[in-house]
Structure 1
Amino acid sequence: MKSHFKANGIDATVLMDGNYALQICVDPNDMMKGVFRISEQLFLRVACEFQSLRWFAEEHSSIFSDVVGDVSPITMGTHGLINESPPGWQGLKCLLDDPA
């Protein structure tokens, strides 16, 4: 799964914390470039609906490219602008990474 996301230019961190299965982002060092979490319920659909892992990664990677387009300029005064990532979303350890 991680390699499928990586092939699409997206970093994936496996969480499986009871709520979220994955956290995907454009740049794990700069969450302001885009970050999204995939719930365990949504990820369960891969197995229950016999979905391809490659397709799943491609579909969910596309959210980052879909937001780029004809939008008005964003400034620090833009209503609703989030200027930092949610607490606990940065510096995560992937469940599948080597513990060493």
Structure 2
Amino acid sequence: MRKTLIVSEVSTFLRLHKVTVSEMARKGRLPAAKVGGKWIFFLDEIEQFVQESATFKLQEKDISEKWPYSNGKTLSSSGSRYPSLEDRLYRKALGLPIKS
């Protein structure tokens, strides 16, 4: 039998807010089915979604060219105020807007 997940489990797995997961399911961006008013996901389909989304061929250089931080603003001692490379790649793989 296939393993099923609920919104909160997919949210944890994908490191996204529950509302984002529900919206992505509603818009058809995540494989899901609504059963009894609740979203149900198959683990293997979510894993396949992540794997297919992560097949992009971005290198760190490509990201830096798309994110020219010309103003150089940083927080005093805690580093850049911009999202990390890892966060940008992760959000791009999932087709989410990249926060700045």
- Shorter-chain TM-score bucket reads 0.3 to 0.5
Higher relative contact order (CA 8 A, sep 6+): 1
**Is the helix fraction higher in 1 or 2?**
2
- TM-score, with structure 1 as normaliser: 0.34
